[in-house]
Amino acid sequence: MSNIKLFEEKKVRSHWDAEKEVWYFSITDVVAILTESIDPLAYWRKLKERLKKEGNQTVTNCHGLKMVAADGKMRLTDVADTEQLLRIIQSVPSPKAEPFKQWLAKVGYERMQEIANPEQSLDRARENWQKLGRSEKWIQQRMTGQETRNKLTDYWKDSGVEKKDEFALLTNIIHEEWTGLTVKKHKDLKGLKTQNLRDHMSEAELIFTALAELSTRQIAESEEAKGMNENAKASKKGGAVAKNARKELEGQTGKSVITGENFLPPGVGLKEISQGND
């Protein structure tokens, strides 16, 4: 999912929250487009202050996310979902307000198309990764891993795992078992905040993640795992298969599979991996 959207060739930083299934957009980017202000941040601050005085709950409900700033660094940015953004736009006198509303609707429609037609989503993802400079080999591994992931989550759904937090918990069990790190600690290692961990994995990390999830599904199927508890046990076993393979490779190469490398813009530094995470 692209974290940059274009409106009339102007960038709008965005973030897709997979858990909430909602887009978040940088408010200052939108204000810059609507007002053509030389200081959109100052404009937004004054507008936010005025809306707060008027008792507008939209401003109160807006929150911040770290996004890539003009200097390439990750900085906290006020964001709004589509509904919040539409309300803010109503408070900004601009001839571009209506075209921007239509653009927002188009962004939402494209996402609905992707959900209905996963192949279209994959095509867009491939294009975005190519634009970000990912190699064809990395892209192929990323897409193969996603297919493996989808088959696993389909099994979970069919076996009685329904809540999103349960999906996250099972995913974390697999991940921690094969890496020795929780998903959060792995993201911290790579210096990630809101970014998708898999989009910043090395080729080896993607391969072992896919092995862990493939093993989990096949073990769950062979044991006919049902519900959260049984799938949790299968997840730990599946993660262990990838852990053993990882240790074997590391023993042969002398190099750690788990890495702090990422694809963040220059200036967002890397963290060194700490051995002994088992």
Q: Strand 4-7 relative to strand 10-17: parallel, antiparallel, unpaired?
A: antiparallel
d(CA 199, CA 222): 31
Q: Tokens standing for 254?
A: 């002398």
**DSSP-assigned letters across all residues of 100-113:** HHHHHHHHHHHHHH
Buried b (16+ CB within 10 A) or exposed e, 242-255: bbebbeeeeeeeee
Tens digit of pLDDT for each residue in 233-271? 999 999 999 999 999 999 999 999 999 999 887 654 444
The residue assigned the tokens 């004054």 is 46
Least confident interval from 73-82, 100-109, 177-186, 199-208: 100-109
pTM higher than 0.75: no
CA distances in angstroms from 96 to 10, 30, 37, listed in the order given: 13, 10, 13
For 44-57, what is the mean pLDDT? 84
Query: Does the pLDDT value for residue 68 go beyond 90?
Result: no
Query: Does the pLDDT value for residue 23 go beyond 90?
Result: no
For 74-87, what is the mean pLDDT? 84
Beta-bridge partner residues of 81: 24
Host H or E run for residue 250: helix 227-253
pLDDT score for 272: 38
d(CA 117, CA 140): 19
Of 144, 134, 119, 276, nearest to 209 (Cα)? Answer: 144
Contact 173, 216 (CB under 8 A): no
For 95-124, what is the mean pLDDT? 64
pLDDT score for 237: 97
